[in-house]
Every structure is written in C-alpha cells, then in structure tokens.
Structure 1
Amino acid sequence: MIRTSKLAASIQPSATIAAGAKARQLKAAGVKVFDFSLGEPDFDTPKHICEAAEKAALGGQTHYTPTAGTAEVKAAVVRWYKRVYGYEFGPENVIVSNGAKHSLHNALAATVGPGDEVVILAPYWVSYSDLVSMTGATPVLVNTTAASGFKASPAQVAAALTPRTRMLMLNSPSNPTGSVYTRAEIEAVVDALPPEVAILSDEIYEQLTYGTASPTCVATLKPGLRERTITVSGASKSYAMTGWRMGWCVAPAAVVKAMDTIQSQETSCPSSVSQAALIAALDGPQACVAEMRAEFAARRELTLKLLNGIPGLVVPNPEGAFYAFFDVSHFFGKSFGGKPVTDSLSFCAALLEQAHVNLVPGSAFGAEGFARMSFATGRPTIEAGLGKLREWLATAV
C-alpha cells in the first residue's frame, strides 16, 4: 500500500472546484442546476486570439519554449504595462506561467519557506492559505468586515506583523468580495509595512471594475516599491481564457530567475500555443474586454437588485471582479426541508441539494456567515437561479 504524504494530507481541495464538481454530478444525473460557483467567464475566447493560436500551431510553434516564456510573449507583457500603467521594466522582470495560480505558487516558493510568515487579508481567495502552507511558511490572517468594505486598515496590518513576517498578499479587485482598494488606501497599507516585507499583489481582476472604482498597479505607487513587489496577473478573467492557462509575474530579476529555476523542474515551460494566443490578447484589439466588462456590469446590477429584494440577506456592493459576497447568517439556526442550517457550509449544501442553486460557502474564504455567488453567467440564469434562492429561503422554519 502506498502512503500519501503529510503535505497532501495537510492541504484542502479547492472549495470552488469542489463546488463545481458537485454541480456537474447533479447535471449528469439530469438535474437542472443553477451553478454560480466558478469564477469563469461564460464567454468564448475572442476570435482573433483563437486565430493567433491556430496560426501558431499550424506554423509549427508546438515545441518547448524558454522556461519563462518566449521573448515575444514577454515583450507583449512589457508593452501592455507601459501602455496601461506607464510601468516600464525589461523582459528579465517577466515570467509567464501556466495560469495565475501557478504564478502565485512559484512566487511564494521562490521567496518564503519554513519559519516565515505571510500576511493574508481575509476574506481571501481559497488557494492563498494553502499555497503559503505548501512552502512551509505560515499564513497569518487579518480579518476584515463588510462594514469596512472588506478592506484592512493600516493598523490591522501593522498589528499582524512579527519579526518573521516576510510578505503581505494583496488582491484588489478582490475574489471573493469584489472590493477595490483606492490608490490611497493601498498606499496607507503599504506604508504600514517595514521595508524588508515584500508585497505579492494579485491583480488578476484589474480590467474588471465598475462605476468610479479603478485598479491600482501596486508596484507603481511610489519610487522604490517595484524592488519589493511581485505583481501577478493573467488572461483568464479579462480575455475569457481560463482553459489556456496563461498567467505571469512581474518582479525583480532575482525573483524571476528563482521562479524560472522552480518552473523548469515543474512544467519545463508554458504552452507554446497559449503564449501565441496571449500575445494576440495583449497586443490585439481591446474592444472585446470592454464588451465583456459592460455585460458583467449589467449582470452585477441585476444581481444586486435581485439579492437586495430577498428578505434576510445583507448584500455589500462589489466594485470589481464578478462576485457577490453576501451575509446569509440570518438563516443559521433555521431548517430547510427538515435539514438544519448552522453555518455557511450547511447552508450551501442544503441549497444545492434542495433548490439546485450552487454557491460557495464563505468559510472557504475565511469569512464564516457569507456565501459567494459568481455572476459570470447569463442574465436569464441569474434571474431564474436567484428566483429559486428566494423561494427556497421562504421555506425556512
């Protein structure tokens, strides 16, 4: 019998992927499921991006590339940041990986380890704490509230620091809350850090903000900050390229070199064809991004209208990404169809089983009492699914 490792036993499966798997099981059994669990745009990848991939594949670009990505794809990343943020750096500061999750893993593996602490602002994306733990470092959570807009204050961050703190992980716009820190708010948090503490800034939702909210590229906040900032982003959300697995890091050259070494032993290189697609995404027409963002904005308005019309729910206003993260604790202690609901996990489990509406429990994100809904799906599905949610909640006893 083969024994599994302590590492495998210590890591939890991704809650969002697990929630999606449960929904697929029900669908396979012929059940109509309203699945709001996965953070995946329902749009197809734009045509010009697919055409670039096809051209690359038919043209023989199907071989190994340099570990950190081709010179051409790194140049495209360099151009994009200069055009969007005025942020200038060289190809030695770029590494392309197999999705932003892979980028986060490699960045952490290259910079922290046993005895180190990494500060994470909660609620946080489900993988953060486990990715930190996989390095042997210790995640340190800073809890925020809906009343604060799910934003940490400089005082909270400062209180979490110890002599072992090596890094702070930021995510704005945020998964799961949709909160967007202003430039001034991020600067205040960064100013609370001693100069030896690095910042890992996950900016994957940077092109998806609404109303007056706007993203901040943390490395551009002030002179000298780029030397202690690792910027992570990717093509999955803004360009509907989840399956292409294209993420990247912009970081000091020494960090990129360390990540390159790690990646060389993990995956050899990113997909050659996907790299060609990423170049087309970053350099090509951007109208597709604006069109998808406008549709997400309309879905956001619809989602907020419907959720706010359901008695018992408390729904903060998401300014970015494509999630609603709302308080369901009013229903704890009640029963649905004879099943008691005591926390967000039992709430979401009963909801899926009885009403066939799939949400992700807030406990997976370090925020008990809440549930996350992705509105990266069509408006008819949102209307019908939230109608089912309203009907089910009305059965509480």
Structure 2
Amino acid sequence: MKNRLSYRLQNISYSQTIAMSSKARELKNQGYDVINLSLGEPDFSPPNFILSDAKKAIDKGYHHYTPVSGYLELKKVICQKFYRDNHLKYTPSQIVVSNGAKQAIMNVLLSLLNKDDEVIIPAPYWVSYLQMVKFCESYPVIIPTIMNNNFKIDPEQLEKAITSKTKLFIFSTPCNPTGSVYSYEELKNLSEVLKKHPEIMIISDEIYEHICYSEKHTSIATFPEIYHQVITVNGLSKAFSMTGWRIGYIGAPEWIAQSCDKIQGQMTSCANSIAQMAAVTALDAHPNKIEYMIKEFEKRRNLVLDMIKEIDGFQFYKPNGAFYIFPKVSYFFGQKLHGKIIKNSDEFSEFLLHKTKVATVSGSAFGDNECLRISYASSEDKIIEAFKRIKKILN
C-alpha cells in the first residue's frame, strides 16, 4: 500500500525519552523489577498548598473554556513572577499560557519559521528541539560542545554559526540533558553577539530555573539590548512537580504572543482551567516554598556523583542544575559486554536496560552519541539500587 503519511511526519522521529520509558514499562508489566531513570519527572507530589487551591477551584466552578492565552489573573501573576524571580518586565498582553512548555515552544516555532530557515541549537540539546524544527521544515544548525567546557557554547561558536538564513537561536539553562548552567557573564557574552543580529529571535527555555545548586540562574532577556528578541519559556512541570498538569507559558514581544494565541486558538484552545487556577497559587508563592525539593535533588545529585565514581569507564562532570547527569560512555564502544559488542550509546543504553533492568536514555537522542542521560529525579533507594546494578555488570 502506498504510504499516505505526510512528508512532514515522516521527517521526524519518536521521542526517545518517551520510547525508552515505554520499554521500561513493558518490562515492568512482564514482572521485571525495572528502575526507570529515563524520564525527567520528579517523584514528589505537588505541594499541598497548590493541591488545596486546585480543589477549591473545582468547587468554585472553574469548569469552562478560558481565554486562549490564559486567565487574566494567571497572566498577571506570571508577570509578577517574572519581575520577582528574573527581573523581567512583561505585561499580560505579552504572556501566553499553554499546555506545557513543549506546546509553548512549538507555538513559537510555528509562528516564526518558514521552510529552509535555519535554527541554531547547541548540543547536547533537549530531545524535542531538533524534531520540532524539522517538523516546521526548517534546518537545525547544531553547535557541538565538549565536557571540558561544561557543555556550553562560546560567543565565537555562536557567531560562526550565524548565516543570512538564521531565524532563531534556541537553548536551555539549566540544560537538559547536561545540567550545565550558563553564568551571567557567559550569557552577557552571547548577548553581545546576538545584539548585532536583531533579526534573530531567541528562545530561552528556563523550565529548570529553580533547580540550581551553585550557579545562580540568569535569564538572557535581562540584557536590555536583546530583550525584544527573546521569548522566555517556563512552566510548572519540574520545580513544582506538576508534570501531568500541563501548564507552560511564555513571556515575549507582543507580536509573538499574539501569533502564539492565534495558533493555539486553532490547535488546542486554552490550557486546563483547574490547572490554571492551581498555577496562580504556585507562581504567586515565593520560591522558598519549593526549596525542600531542590535540596533533595541536590542531595541525590551528590549521591550519584559519589556512586558513579566507582564505575569503571564513566567520565563525567558535576552538573550545577536540573536533575540529570550526562556521563561519557564511549570507553565501552567496541568492547564485548556479556557476549555483545557495544557500538554506540544506543546499544549501551539498551544493554543496561536488558541486563540490569535500569532504564536510561542514549546520548544520541540529545545530539551526543558518546554520552548517556541518567535522571536522578527518583528516590534515593532506587538510585542506589540502580547504580549497584550498573556497577556490578560493568566492573
């Protein structure tokens, strides 16, 4: 039968993080004791004060469609949050609330990109950036980074990647999958390059902003010379442990916000009304309300750093944010492990899943075939057991 699927669909891949989690779930359903360190999903429940107000919203009758871009009350609170936490001034007309930060990013890409436009993406990158750009029939321009530089790009690399076709620059800080955090000075240096190209828009993905350990988070939009080029993306999934509530949002130039409102209005309309009211409570609260979760993530990070040192062949650096470690595992390529020759990070990740029942994600999903992403968003007990299994099979 003739393939009736669109070229646009055939041009993209399945999310490898979701695919690996599905494999882990299948093994678990078969009765295996699987430890899933593949997903970036905190194991906490949302804070009680947020759950309480969500229940109140149900009782108060928030059951109907909201404005496409979100309740005005929520948009005002988002503006207050941006000013309090990021020193950014936005008005409600510059805010769009979406079904997660993923939809927020896709709205922006669909608003801006034409066929064959170029989008600069530092690697390693979040798994969906590349596929989203390809879906828009645009061309991803990848800037590789190295572990010795904490997986960060420098201004010279950025300048060299810019061409007459460059439409967008997209990056995250703190970074998924590496946990690297750009400093104020590093972002300032990148902004010096970008201000020379006012036609280039910047998507700054800051979903992990509160999950920083030593380096303080800085929003690149705080540099006034490029403020009007920046779309700041954020949401509630990570720091508030509200992955299933699907609330993301942007602060952006008004013409971008209007464009995203237009696209979202034809796609999904509004985000969930109850989740929006819960978001009002979450974002109105001071970040110290979720400090207990951040401290726990840091404790788990330190535990992972101690345990990974004991595994032969793993190279790594100390992540300063998010809840991932991204070790280099190319030492094992070409080696025969339990009868199988490992050729790349895909095969290494599959090997760990089937031999240790620990789910990780191949670095190839993030643009670095030499590495492996391991999430420490799970409990200490699961992390300890997972690394014991990995150590036993590899040492």
TM-score by length of 1: 0.97
Cα shift at 1:354: 1.0
1:139 CA displacement: 0.7
2:348, 2:90 → 1: CA distance?
Answer: 47
Q: For 1:274-285, list aligned pairs within 5 A.
A: 274-284=275-285
Find the counterpart in structure 1 of residue 218 from structure 2.
Answer: 216
Task: Indicate the residue corresponding to 1:368 in structure 2.
Answer: 369
- Separation of aligned partners in 2, 1:112 and 1:187: 26
Where in structure 2 are the equivalents of 1:174-193 lying within 5 Å?
174-193=175-194
Aligned equivalents of 1:73, 1:318: Cα separation in 2: 33
Cα distance in 1 for partners of 2:43, 2:180 equals 22
Q: Cα RMSD (Å) of the superposition?
A: 1.1
Q: Distance in 2 between matches of 1:287 and 1:319?
A: 18
Secondary structure of the residue aligned to 1:84 is helix
Structure 2 residue identity aligned to 1:218: I
C-alpha separation between the residues in 2 aligned to 1:4 and 1:57? Answer: 41
Alpha-carbon distance in structure 2 between the residues aligned to 1:367 and 1:379: 27
Does 2:131 align with 1:107? no
Structure 2 CA distance for partners of 1:281 and 1:167, relative to 1, 3 Å: same
The aligned counterpart of 1:328 is: 329
CA contact (8 A) 2:8 2:137 kept: no
1:197 aligns with 2:200: yes
Amino acid at match of 1:204: I
Mapped partners of 2:179, 2:56: distance in 1: 37
How far is 1:60 from its partner? 1.1
Distance 1:55 1:75 in 2: 20
Give CA-to-partner distance per residue, 1:157-211, whole Å, 9 cap, x none.
1111110001111211000000011111111112223222111100110000012
The answer to whether the 8 A contact 1:331-1:341 is kept is yes
Correspondences of 1:291-370 after superposition (within 5 Å): 291-370=292-371
Alignment check: 8 A CA contact 2:9 2:135 kept:
no
- Deviation at 1:154? 0.8
1:239–1:288 Cα contact (<8 Å) kept: no
Residue 209 of structure 2 is matched in structure 1 by: 206
What residue number does 2:252 align with? 251
Q: Is contact 1:306-1:386 (8 Å) kept?
A: yes
Q: Does 1:49 align with 2:42?
A: no
Structure 1 residue ranges, 4+ long, deviating more than 2 angstroms after superposition: 284-288
Which letter does structure 2 place at the counterpart of 1:196?
A: E
**How far apart, in 2, do the equivalents of 1:246 and 1:315 lie?**
33
3-state SS in 1 of match to 2:73:
helix
State whether structure 2 residue 136 is matched by structure 1 residue 139.
Answer: no
Q: Does residue 1:94 correspond to 2:83, yes or no?
A: no
SS in 2 for 1:327: coil
**Cα pair 2:53 2:278 within 8 Å, conserved:** yes
SS in 2 for 1:326: coil
- Please give the alpha-carbon distance, in whole angstroms, between the structure 1 residues aligned to 2:29 and 2:347: 23
CA-to-partner distance for each residue in 1:353-381, whole Å, 9 max, x for gaps?
11111110001100011000000011111
Contact 2:95–2:251 under 8 Å retained in 1: yes
Q: 1:199 is aligned with what amino acid?
A: I
Unmatched segments (≥5 aa) in structure 1: none
Cα distance, 1:285 vs structure 2: 5.4
| Cα deviations by residue, 1:47-105 (Å, 9 ceiling, x for unpaired) | 11111111111211010000000101101101111111232221001000000000010
What CA distance in whole angstroms lies between the structure 2 residues aligned with 1:92 and 1:150? 35
- Cα distance in 2 for partners of 1:254, 1:203 equals 21
Q: What is the letter of the counterpart of residue 274 of structure 1?
A: A
> Percent of counterpart pairs with the same letter?
40
What is the identity, as a one-letter code, of the residue corresponding to 1:210? Y
The gaps in structure 2 that reach 5 residues or longer are none
What code does the residue aligned with 1:214 have? K
Distance 1:171 1:312 in 2: 28
Secondary structure of 1:232 counterpart = strand
Deviation at 1:289, TM superposition (A): 1.4
Query: Do 2:210 and 2:287's aligned partners in 1 also have CA atoms closer than 8 Å?
Result: no
